[in-house]
Amino acid sequence: MELYLNGEKADLAPDTVFAVTVQSNDITRPDTVQSSYSNTLTLPYTERNHRLTGNARQVSSLSPVPYRVLEAQALHDGVEVLPLPKAYLLGAGAEGYEVDLFSGAVDLFERLGDKSIRDLDLSRFDHAWDFEQVVAGASSWRTPEHGYIYAPYDTGKPFDAASAWAEDLFPSVFTRTVFEQILQEAGVNYNGIPDELWDKLVLPFSNEKPLHTEDWINARIVEMDTRLNNTAAIPVHDPGVLNVTVEVDAAFISEAQASSIGVYLRRNGVWLDVQEVPVTTLGLTKLNARFKIHPTMDLAGLEVWTIRTNLIPAGGDTVGNSTYNYYTITSKYEQEAYFNTEWNTALNLPDIKQKDLIKAIRALFDLIVHFDSYSNTLTFTPFNKLEENKVLAYDWTDKLVYNGVVPVQYKFGEFAQKSWFRYKKDELGGDGDHFLTVDNTQLEQEKNIVELPFAASEETNGGIRIPFYSRKELTPSNYDVATDTITTRNSLSLNDKDKVWVKNASGDADVPRGWGLYEYVKDRAPQPDGWVLLEQEFYYYDTKKVEPRMAVLGEQAEVSIWKTKSYAIIRTTCKLQFNPISFQTLLPTRYKALQGVLDKAKGITPRLLLDVTDVAGYDPSIPIWLEEHQSYFYLNQISEFTGQGPTECQLWRL
């Protein structure tokens, strides 16, 4: 046996035993992916090994080698038994340096670490979240190459699958797009997922609210020093929640006239919202204002405007006026993204670990995962494929070593009489759980075998339901006067700051539909008397956290996508469905072969006289035939192969 670390041959003791355990997928644990590994090797303390390990035995050594994954090569009779393994230096023991070797998918999962799918670079799919892009993105012909699709689904707002406002639609990102980006950034190839649903799987937007990146927010921060001007205006170019802070450092307070600072949202000189605070003490006075710039608002001429009353710069005439040392205004958007701004694809994905998404896909379709280190390729094979591959089976009958009775197992891993496959729990979700049965009363009654990082979705005739919106309710304390229409509102006799609930505000160009809540502005020169829109039914919703979801593009359907109350475009899109990926659907189909293994389960651990090519050519998708047992088997594991005698193998009857 020969061992190389970072390309240089290491010294081994003459009696070194190199034992390899080979596996890709332990079918008794469908929620995991395994790798092949060696026994712990002891490298004797020689000058060469000291150099290779950075003299790690010495406490005073500052070498980084013990803290690095090392490239390794393990040869048995000139053949690599572990393909391109990674070496981990465990420590320095009494007889030498202790090293473990791992080969296969472990390196991929080490690289992925705890990265979220939100950490991926999907910037090529970022786009303007507006009417034009929603209409273009709703087309039923879109594929994973397009990255996303705007397919309607019920978010908790009034829902009609055949008619939707553009701003009520959110992009669903193709799962394959995300999956392939994970592997691309990890530097790994794959041969596709051989399932008819693979190109139809999507991750619908299911977060509490859409978000902007910090870069987007920071690029729109405006800070102004208004020391020399009585007023200052900041143009508003984007919808969203805009926080505005005005600070004044008062140097002198006049008792002759009241002083104040104010922030106003106005369009072409007409005030839309007013927030003021008096300046009554020396030192710092701060006004924090918050304006909701709804997507339906006309942004032409819209600005945030500040004005101070009876305040002048320090050093000037103080007669009748207060003075200040500095006066600043700052505007900054909150992170929530509004319609008619930019949609960041990665940031608005569910917060799921990249490795958990890979394991979830493996569990959904009962896939055998095998990593070829030489081609750096992940291969996914349905477990059902073993039935077809019986014609390719390896006949290992002559390799059996007869040394008594072959041990037989009847308990299949941690499976129970009812082995549950579950979606993540969400009280706002549906039911996608189901179970495989094992006819063995010696086992536990029930046990959870798989839990996906997604919640199930309730499905209706119009598609799936992900209710992250919930309706707020107006109460009498929210308004002073109720009226039916904009016309009847305008005929009311009101006082300054009276709040009026207009039950049908469709006469207001800024209100797409439903009611509006207004504040009356009166006797505030130079502003003419008028109305400030405080809330409207179209946006009067709370948002709440729901668990991540996965869905399938289903049947095609026409939908009218509305831009305004009088303009819509009809597109042929796809409904989102959940039932095709419910375990009630998947277990009878994708898990058919595994159910066959569970029925009267028989696992044997015979000793087989394998050679190095048997181990190096391990392919978990090819069954093993043993004439003595007149059966085909799944090779679950080759245990501690040394090349110096029989090797114990774990086989499950197909």
CATH of the domain at 266: 2.60.120.40
- Give the mean model confidence (pLDDT) for residues 308-321: 76
Who has greater pLDDT, 576 or 264? 576
Helical pair 175-186 and 354-365, crossing angle rounded to 10 deg: 120
The residue with tokens 């009748």 is 320
Nearest to residue 21, comparing CAs of 81, 65, 75, 64? 81
Tokens standing for 373? 């280190």
Who has greater pLDDT, 32 or 355? 355
Residue 160, helix vs strand vs coil: coil
What residues form DSSP beta bridges with 557?
A: 573
Give me the domain span that covers residue 258. 214-336
At residue 32, the pLDDT reads 64
Tokens standing for 397? 């009958």
- Give the mean model confidence (pLDDT) for residues 561-585: 91
- Give the mean model confidence (pLDDT) for residues 164-190: 94
Label residue 319 by pLDDT band (50, 70, 90).
Answer: low
Buried b vs exposed e over 73-103: b needs ≥16 C-beta within 10 Å? bbbbeeebbbbbbbbbbeebeeebbebebbb
**Pairing relationship of beta strands 322-333 and 148-149 according to DSSP bridges:** unpaired
Report how far residue 389's alpha carbon sits from residue 633's, in angstroms, rounded to the nearest whole number.
Answer: 11
Nearest to residue 344, comparing CAs of 468, 239, 210? 210
Q: Answer whether residue 32 is part of any domain.
A: yes
Measured in whole angstroms, the distance separating CA 80 from the mean position of its chain's CA atoms is 38
Are the beta carbons of 36 and 103 closer than 8 angstroms?
A: yes
What residues form DSSP beta bridges with 278?
A: 260
Query: What radius of gyration, in Å, describes the C-alpha atoms of the chain?
Result: 34
Percent of the chain with pLDDT over 70: 96
Tokens standing for 328? 């600043």
Who has greater pLDDT, 137 or 645? 137
Tokens standing for 396? 């290992």
The pLDDT tens digits for 457-481 are 998 877 899 999 888 877 767 899 9
- Give the mean model confidence (pLDDT) for residues 268-288: 87
What pTM does this model have?
A: 0.88
Domain termination site, one of 493, 509, 539? 539
Percent of the chain with pLDDT over 90: 51
Check pLDDT > 90 for residue 288.
yes
Q: Answer whether residue 61 is part of any domain.
A: yes
DSSP state of 53: T
Report how far residue 500's alpha carbon sits from residue 494's, in angstroms, rounded to the nearest whole number.
Answer: 9
Give the angle 375-640-186 at the CA atoms, nearest 5°: 30
At residue 200, the pLDDT reads 97
Check pLDDT > 90 for residue 19.
no
Mean pLDDT of the chain: 89
Nearest to residue 1, comparing CAs of 53, 79, 70, 72? 79
Are the beta carbons of 615 and 635 closer than 8 angstroms?
A: no
Report how far residue 334's alpha carbon sits from residue 116's, in angstroms, rounded to the nearest whole number.
Answer: 23
What is the count of structural domains for the chain?
A: 3
Tokens standing for 284? 């710092």
At residue 642, the pLDDT reads 86
Domain termination site, one of 482, 516, 539? 539
Check pLDDT > 60 for residue 306.
yes
Please give the backbone phi and psi of residue 89, each rounded to the nearest 5 degrees, phi first. -80, 115
Highest mean pLDDT among 226-230, 240-244, 424-428, 644-648: 240-244
Check pLDDT > 60 for residue 318.
no
Give the angle 281-285-289 at the CA atoms, nearest 5°: 145
The total number of residues written for the chain in this structure: 654
CB-count burial class (<10 Å; 0-12, 13-18, 19+) for 652:
buried
Domain termination site, one of 104, 128, 150? 104
Tokens standing for 628? 């003595």
Are the beta carbons of 533 and 585 closer than 8 angstroms?
A: no
Who has greater pLDDT, 631 or 107? 631
Query: DSSP of 488-512, one letter per residue?
Result: HHHT----TT-EEEEEE-TTSTT--
- Give the mean model confidence (pLDDT) for residues 169-186: 96
Q: Answer whether residue 644 is part of any domain.
A: no
The pLDDT tens digits for 538-552 are 888 888 889 999 999
**Does residue 526 have a cis peptide bond before it, meaning omega lies within 30 degrees of 0?**
yes
Are the beta carbons of 485 and 504 closer than 8 angstroms?
A: yes
Give the angle 265-269-274 at the CA atoms, nearest 5°: 30
Are the beta carbons of 186 and 108 closer than 8 angstroms?
A: yes
Q: Specify the DSSP element, H or E, that contains 361.
A: helix 354-365
Report how far residue 148's alpha carbon sits from residue 143's, in angstroms, rounded to the nearest whole number.
Answer: 8
Q: Answer whether residue 247 is part of any domain.
A: yes
Report how far residue 361's alpha carbon sits from residue 179's, in angstroms, rounded to the nearest whole number.
Answer: 9
The residue with tokens 């019986």 is 390
Least confident of 78-87, 284-293, 499-508: 78-87
Query: DSSP of 547-573, one letter per residue?
Result: --B-EEEEEEEEEEEEEETTEEEEEEE
Give the angle 43-45-50 at the CA atoms, nearest 5°: 95
Other CB atoms within 10 A of residue 346 CB: 19
